[in-house]
Structure 1
């Protein structure tokens, strides 16, 4: 009788652990999708900033994009890559 109770309890904890791992996988996929979307948003925002008058003047004088534009490009790329990694991980 006691043996059956122990086995039943162990099975219950095992099923809770599996459910918890499945929920964690779903959360990671959601976080991955959100990061990928945010990454694309940063890249688009950087692209729009590169067309601003101040950025075009800096680009004409120095021949390079402004630090702000490059920061948005880099943030966008990193967020997108991490998001895709988290989405595909499990």
Structure 2
């Protein structure tokens, strides 16, 4: 039972983290930075990748 609760929490937190990373990636300042230098902010990549990893770990905990 504890593993399932942790899995659900990881899925929710991972989804929120991925959404936060996407919001940073899609922000106006990030678009301007990408247009000028071609680089995306590290916080955006960390949020999206970290969120995806947390969701995957959460899904495996539910099984």
TM-score, shorter chain, exceeding 0.5: yes
Q: For residues 37 and 87 of structure 1, what CA distance do their matches in structure 2 show?
A: 13
Q: In the TM superposition, what is the alpha-carbon distance from 1:54 to its structure 2 partner?
A: 1.9
Q: In the TM superposition, what is the alpha-carbon distance from 1:75 to its structure 2 partner?
A: 0.9
Q: Which runs of 5+ in 2 are unaligned?
A: none
> For residue 47 of structure 1, what is the aligned residue in structure 2?
22
Q: In the TM superposition, what is the alpha-carbon distance from 1:53 to its structure 2 partner?
A: 2.3
Q: For residues 38 and 60 of structure 1, what CA distance do their matches in structure 2 show?
A: 31
Helix, strand or coil at the partner of 1:65: coil
> For residue 8 of structure 2, what is the aligned residue in structure 1?
33
> For residue 58 of structure 1, what is the aligned residue in structure 2?
33
Q: For residues 58 and 44 of structure 2, what CA distance do their matches in structure 1 show?
A: 21
> For residue 75 of structure 1, what is the aligned residue in structure 2?
50
RMSD over aligned CA atoms reads 1.1
* TM-score with structure 1 setting the length: 0.64
* TM-score with structure 2 setting the length: 0.88
Q: Which runs of 5+ in 1 are unaligned?
A: 1-25
